[in-house]
Amino acid sequence: MNNFWQRAITGVFFVGFICGLTLYNEFSFLILLCTICLFGLLEYYRIVFKGIFHYAQAIFVLIGLGIVCLKYWFDDWVLYLLPVLFPLAAFTVLFSKNREWKSLAYLFSGLFYIAFPLLFFFLSTFHKESTLESPQMIYMPLLALNLFIMIWCSDTFAYISGKLFGKHKMFEAVSPGKTWEGVIGGLLLTCGFSAVTAYYFNIPMHVNIVVAFCSVVFGTLGDLVESMLKREFKIKDSGNILPGHGGILDRFDALLISLPFTALCYYLLL
């Protein structure tokens, strides 16, 4: 019971924190994404490097934050900096305690797993509005909030469906509790609920149904990927920053993997 109330209280503050920063303005939303990126990368590097910290990881955490903020200082010259990342990583690894080729893979995989999806998330929430002077990019907070809600719905509806009807395991060796019935139920219910958010958030219904579909399908993949990561390194939770809920990666695993696809839906269909 104590664990239940701990999870419930943390969940309420967690959802309120996300909704508040998302809805306030684009800068508060950017702060939210940078916070997710910061703690997500720290957790990821702590897991894959087995608790051994070196300044190479610190450098790549800063690079990850820079990627999330890329919209505000992007110019052509930034493209020339991207190839510099590999020799920079190689140089830092040479002077670290983990002088192994896989250390380079771990450093870069953190950027592709966490930082770049959050950049796509930020970019996808801007809508180009033509004016008499010049086109302007307007921040649309409800587009951002919609993606959070789709993931929350996917998790909740899949859990309920799995508890009520779950019999056939998806990948029992990776995630024993996940069933095909749970995922299918989550998919149907989330796509149905997407019609409600489409109406209130002024999003075309066909667009939001596609977004909901991608959220469930690729969000489920995100859950499985993180479960595979934790099993590989024999840990229960990615961290303990959220009492009763684990770490940042535990809470945003589905979102991170689904973002490249849901953000692309926004870009192509809106």
Give 64-118 pLDDT, tens digit per residue.
Answer: 998 898 877 665 556 666 677 777 777 777 776 666 778 888 999 999 999 999 9
Domain count, the chain: 1
Give 134-150 pLDDT, tens digit per residue.
Answer: 667 889 999 999 999 99
Domain that holds residue 217: 2-269
- Residue range 144-167: mean pLDDT, rounded: 92
The answer, yes or no, to whether residue 1 has pLDDT greater than 50, is: no
* Strand bridging mode 126-129 / 136-139: antiparallel
Give 210-257 pLDDT, tens digit per residue.
Answer: 999 999 999 999 999 999 999 999 888 888 887 767 889 999 999 999
Give 211-220 pLDDT, tens digit per residue.
Answer: 999 999 999 9
Beta strands in the chain (DSSP E): 126-129, 136-139
Angle at 213 between CA 155 and CA 182, to 5 degrees: 40
β-bridge partners, 139: 126
Give 175-201 pLDDT, tens digit per residue.
Answer: 888 899 999 999 999 999 999 999 999
CA distances (Å), origin 147, targets 131, 198, 217: 28, 11, 13
Name the band, by pLDDT with cuts 50, 70 and 90, for residue 25: very high
The answer, yes or no, to whether residue 2 has pLDDT greater than 60, is: no
Rounded to whole angstroms, how far apart are CA atoms 232 and 49?
12
Task: Tell me the percentage of the chain whose pLDDT exceeds 90.
Answer: 53
